[in-house]
Structure 1
Amino acid sequence: MGSPDGYVVNMYARCGKIGCSHEVFDEIVDHNVVSWISMITGCVEGLMREALVESNQYTLGSLMTACGKLGDLHQGKWVHGYAIKRGIDFNSCLVMALVDVYVKCAVIKDAGSVFDELSCIDLV
């Protein structure tokens, strides 16, 4: 798990308060992967919102891949819920990124459920 400061960075970024997020980030003495990913993700999402660009399967798949590498179940579930709420189509790349997060976090039941919802099984 990451530091509490990393999660504060993420919370501000998700609320569109990139300036506040950056201030907290700057105060972190020992930056870790969570704080960096939180800051990067928040800035990218903020820029995408300003440019009126919506997230899609590929941007969310990239976020899920980062969550998987971190073993961050909380963030992975948030991205999963965001995708559902936004009505994002779950292509095989996004589904496999979700499965990867759930497997790496030992939530095998959720990994199986996500996999079973995939409409077309392919090489990915």
Structure 2
Amino acid sequence: CIGRGFRGGFRRWSIHPGKVEHNDGNPVPADQFSLRVKRNNQRQACVLTSCNDDNNNSNKTKQQEPGLFNNIWTKMNASCGTCYALFPRAWYEYNEPVPGIKICARQVSPVIPHNYKESSFP
């Protein structure tokens, strides 16, 4: 399970139910959303990640994770995405991260009747 932070980055992840790792410092390069499209035997791939190639940790990250940022992936333009929130639902729309493709990622927070405290947790 990979979750998003309040700025839209993929910051929360979990392998074991109930235990969530939250990374506000340096993002984990594997925490990303990737899209691969094959049309007419042509392949296009892009990735939405909160890792910044221009930051000081980029060389260290690339040495540790050589397969994550190779030349097949292009970075998705952040301006193609929009976040909408209407509790208990939220959704992210990406308009043409790859030409001719529109993606909508939806999420729902659980609502527990008569239990507003736990229902308000993200």
TM-score (norm 2): 0.28
Q: Determine which structure has the larger strand proportion and give its number.
A: 2
Q: Determine which structure has the larger helix proportion and give its number.
A: 1
TM-score (norm 1): 0.28
Identify which of structures 1 and 2 has the higher relative contact order when contacts are C-alpha pairs closer than 8 Å and 6+ apart.
1
